[in-house]
Amino acid sequence: MAAILSVSGSPSPTSRTTRLLRHLDDRLRRQGHEVTPLEVRSLPPEALLGAHFGHPSIVAATELFARAEGVVIGTPVYKAAYSGLLKSLLDVLPQYALAGKTVLPLATGGSTAHVLAIDYALRPVLSSMGAAHIVPGWFTLDRDISADGTGSVLPPAAAEALEQVTDQFSAALGGRTGSLAAAG
Amino acid sequence: MAAILSVSGSPSPTSRTTRLLRHLDDRLRRQGHEVTPLEVRSLPPEALLGAHFGHPSIVAATELFARAEGVVIGTPVYKAAYSGLLKSLLDVLPQYALAGKTVLPLATGGSTAHVLAIDYALRPVLSSMGAAHIVPGWFTLDRDISADGTGSVLPPAAAEALEQVTDQFSAALGGRTGSLAAAG
Amino acid sequence: MAAILSVSGSPSPTSRTTRLLRHLDDRLRRQGHEVTPLEVRSLPPEALLGAHFGHPSIVAATELFARAEGVVIGTPVYKAAYSGLLKSLLDVLPQYALAGKTVLPLATGGSTAHVLAIDYALRPVLSSMGAAHIVPGWFTLDRDISADGTGSVLPPAAAEALEQVTDQFSAALGGRTGSLAAAG
Amino acid sequence: MAAILSVSGSPSPTSRTTRLLRHLDDRLRRQGHEVTPLEVRSLPPEALLGAHFGHPSIVAATELFARAEGVVIGTPVYKAAYSGLLKSLLDVLPQYALAGKTVLPLATGGSTAHVLAIDYALRPVLSSMGAAHIVPGWFTLDRDISADGTGSVLPPAAAEALEQVTDQFSAALGGRTGSLAAAG
């Protein structure tokens, strides 16, 4: 129903954050949404850090945001906040790149001591970019995310919590979630 | 007296933030400190964003932090927080790279509406890195910083405020500030 | 259409924050909502600060929150954050007193330097209380709010900005805003 | 050596936060400091919430802050931040009541998920009040603090961590900590 951009801000090529997002993307697709994944690490570093707003890859990323109705923002927690990689993308987007959009903030980290980074660090930045609706986010412990591609991505309790958060996001976008809730 | 690392997190080659820091460096040198300037933008972007901890330039930057007793951290405010460029450097440093150090946080921006970004966004990150003493910071309006190299860098009132903040930092480092305060 | 609780966290009997909220209440009523004003300062201080959850006035306030679909939270900015008076009410409410609700955060202050207190201080608290949707908030300068009861409450530009924020809140609650937008 | 004000912001008459602070006060006294305990809950609620700056108990509290060189600020974490009780005291103090002072922020809570409340919520408020040096703070789990007066207040690991934080505070105040570190 809705066009969703699903952004991973992890610098790692074998990122648990990214694996979590791709798992969530599947659920959103089953609910009828069109999901476009974006790994910030696939964009050219010199364009991100040099503030090259006119670079084709930055222009393309900006258009992905412009077209999206919903945006998932996932980041590892480093030094009590979002990754510098994620922020370097947000910095080259227009000030109000999230205007009118529904946003789902997600974070991963090694300890529950980092949980508040979503609400105290990430949300104020997303809010400054004009987001119309930032739905309640979710923090997942690194050790709860399976590292390889085998088996389930999350243990049952963490999976259920993430499904609930995903469905609130989907509902805020006007998606159908009820009949598929059991299918997750 | 003290070894100071003065870090600019601005991506711009003609940065007002950087110009402000270099002005402040001069004052610190006149107070007897040894100041090493570091522009994060001079480090290789792919090493910063790819989390290449072993890259020679990252190793060298890490050593600059390790050797410093005092660290000045300057950043433009983008999207209600520090720059992604600055955070990408902090992310590749050890978790406690600021342990035992005295830190002076500075920010620049287009509007006083961004003032609180120092205390709500930048300070918690510096605190998570083990800083022993983060002295009161300062926010300078872009329009108060002269763009070219001619004349004075700041108007009198802004210059005086910055001098006071610099001298508090110097005093916290054990520097002599009194007799030179009039020389700024 | 919706039941709205409009909460002022100002300790002052002649509060500009409260005056601003009552002005906003009028607009919400004209849009068809049922609005209940609540001044935290009218609750017994010893019940608020002594955490007397069973005190009749605290039980009554808790019920007002439970019945509301939308909640306006207005506070002066003191010491870079919301008032202690407002927080003392939030502290005696159930942890998830805002679950499922749409919330509009508003702040007033003497300088635009306090603007970010809404997103960095107030929003994380409201988010921890389970708010389903915290719409973009608004900061109004004290000097823009008329002190007495005569004339208009706000100058035209500030009035228009507040109307837009109010209408976004109303729309998020499912209210009709379009045809009445011109009537504000 | 130094005059220290030790402030508990807990509303509970049997507070673990307060018990933790009184334990810490003992250590500071053994290091030669003069410590004055202050429980915000002992001040008249109507003076705190009504902003009665001239009330004798508020004037007395303001003088306690004015005379102190060091201030310990302890609070339970409620709703992802400091208590409303603590903030209501800070609100009635002068804007720069912490100017020139060394401050130790402490928090207690039921889960490590609240740890960041010290740096993201409490520190910015203390910073806005002009604190010269806010030393690294500490978060203690409720369940680590013994509820009754028998036995030790903290288990060994938590006691050691708190001692280290206390000694950093003492050292920042110019106190002698070395020879007594083993006595705690």
This complex has an ipTM of 0.93
Q: What is the pLDDT of residues D6-28, one digit of tens each?
A: 999 999 998 999 999 999 999 99
In angstroms, the CA D30 to CA A160 distance is: 52
Decide if pLDDT at A120 tops 80: yes
Decide if pLDDT at C179 tops 50: no
B 93-112 residues inside an 8 A Cβ radius of A: 95
In angstroms, the CA B172 to CA B131 distance is: 13
Is C80 within 8 Å of C117 (Cβ atoms)? yes
Nearest to D49 among C49, C120, C124 (CB): C49
pLDDT for the residue numbered B71: 98
Average pLDDT value for chain D = 92
Residue of C nearest to D95 (CA): C79
Q: Does C126 touch chain A (CB under 8 A)?
A: no
Confidence band, pLDDT 50/70/90 cuts, at residue C175: low
Is A119 within 8 Å of C128 (Cβ atoms)? yes
pLDDT for the residue numbered B175: 52
pLDDT for the residue numbered A175: 52
Identify the chains in contact with A, defined as 3+ C-beta pairs within 8 A.
B, C, D
- Tell me, what amino acid is at A8? S
In sequence order, what DSSP letters do the residues of chain A get, joined into one string?
--EEEEEE----TT-HHHHHHHHHHHHHHHTT-EEEEEEGGGS-HHHHHTT-TTSHHHHHHHHHHHH-SEEEEEEE-BTTB--HHHHHHHHHS-TTTTBT-EEEEEEEESSGGGTTHIIIIIHHHHHHTTBSEE---EEEEGGGS-SSSSS-SS-HHHHHHHHHHHHHHHHHTT---GGGGGG-
pLDDT for the residue numbered C102: 98
Nearest residue to C139 (alpha-carbon basis) of C105, C107, C103, C168: C107
| More confident position, A177 or A18 | A18
Confidence band, pLDDT 50/70/90 cuts, at residue C181: very low
Nearest to A120 among C124, C135, C168 (CB): C124
The two tokens of residue D141 are 């789990």
User: Are B129 and A83 inside 8 Å of each other by CB?
Assistant: no
The two tokens of residue D161 are 């961590």
Identify the chains in contact with D, defined as 3+ C-beta pairs within 8 A.
A, B, C
Q: What is the pLDDT of residues C52-82, one digit of tens each?
A: 899 999 999 999 999 999 999 999 999 999 9
Average pLDDT over residues A138-145: 95
Nearest residue to D131 (alpha-carbon basis) of B137, B108, C116, B140: B137
Q: What is the pLDDT of residues C75-132, one digit of tens each?
A: 999 999 999 999 999 999 999 999 999 999 999 999 999 999 999 999 999 999 999 9
Residue of C nearest to A130 (CA): C136
In angstroms, the CA B140 to CA B165 distance is: 12
Confidence band, pLDDT 50/70/90 cuts, at residue C1: confident
pLDDT for the residue numbered C51: 87
Q: What is the pLDDT of residues B44-67, one digit of tens each?
A: 999 999 988 999 999 999 999 999
Confidence band, pLDDT 50/70/90 cuts, at residue C147: confident
User: Are C123 and A128 inside 8 Å of each other by CB?
Assistant: no
In degrees and rounded to multiples of 5, residue C166 shows phi and psi of -65, -40
Decide if pLDDT at D103 tops 50: yes
Total H helices, total E strands in chain C: 7, 6
pLDDT for the residue numbered B24: 96
In angstroms, the CA A107 to CA A130 distance is: 20
Could you please state the CATH topology (level 3) that the domain comprising A3-183 is classified under: Rossmann fold (3.40.50)
pLDDT for the residue numbered D164: 95
Nearest to D120 among B120, B136, B172 (CB): B120
In degrees and rounded to multiples of 5, residue D175 shows phi and psi of -80, 165
% of residues, chain D, pLDDT over 70: 93
Q: Does D119 touch chain A (CB under 8 A)?
A: yes
Identify the chains in contact with C, defined as 3+ C-beta pairs within 8 A.
A, B, D
Q: What is the pLDDT of residues D122-169, one digit of tens each?
A: 999 999 999 999 999 999 999 999 877 667 889 999 999 999 999 999
Confidence band, pLDDT 50/70/90 cuts, at residue D182: very low
Residue of D nearest to A117 (CA): D116
Average pLDDT over residues D107-111: 96
Decide if pLDDT at C162 tops 50: yes
Interface test with C, best of A119, A138, A167 (most C CBs within 10 A): A119
In angstroms, the CA D82 to CA D90 distance is: 11
Confidence band, pLDDT 50/70/90 cuts, at residue C152: confident
Weakest-pLDDT range from C11-15, C105-109, C144-148, D157-161 = C144-148
Average pLDDT over residues A21-31: 96
Q: Does C170 touch chain D (CB under 8 A)?
A: no
What number of residues does chain A have?
184
Decide if pLDDT at D79 tops 60: yes
Looking at the complex, report in whole angstroms how far the Cα of residue B6 sits from the nearest Cα belonging to chain C: 26
Interface test with C, best of B114, B115, B123, B125 (most C CBs within 10 A): B115
pTM greater than 0.90: yes
Q: Does A171 touch chain C (CB under 8 A)?
A: no
Decide if pLDDT at C150 tops 80: no
Nearest residue to A123 (alpha-carbon basis) of A161, A164, A90, A162: A90
pLDDT for the residue numbered B182: 36
Decide if pLDDT at B103 tops 80: yes
Average pLDDT value for chain C = 92
Decide if pLDDT at B183 tops 50: no
Weakest-pLDDT range from A147-161, B25-39, B69-83, C157-171 = A147-161
Q: What is the pLDDT of residues A121-130, one digit of tens each?
A: 999 999 999 9
Is D45 within 8 Å of C45 (Cβ atoms)? yes
Nearest to C50 among D45, D120, D125 (CB): D45
% of residues, chain C, pLDDT over 90: 87
Average pLDDT over residues D60-77: 98
Q: Could you tell me whether strands C133-134 and D3-8 are parallel, antiparallel, or unpaired per DSSP bridges? A: unpaired
Residue of A nearest to D118 (CA): A116
Q: Does B42 touch chain A (CB under 8 A)?
A: no
Q: What is the pLDDT of residues B161-171, one digit of tens each?
A: 999 999 999 99
Between C and D, how many residue pairs show a Cβ–Cβ distance under 8 A?
110
Identify the chains in contact with B, defined as 3+ C-beta pairs within 8 A.
A, C, D
pLDDT for the residue numbered A181: 37
Q: Does C120 touch chain A (CB under 8 A)?
A: yes
In angstroms, the CA A136 to CA A157 distance is: 18
Average pLDDT over residues B122-151: 91
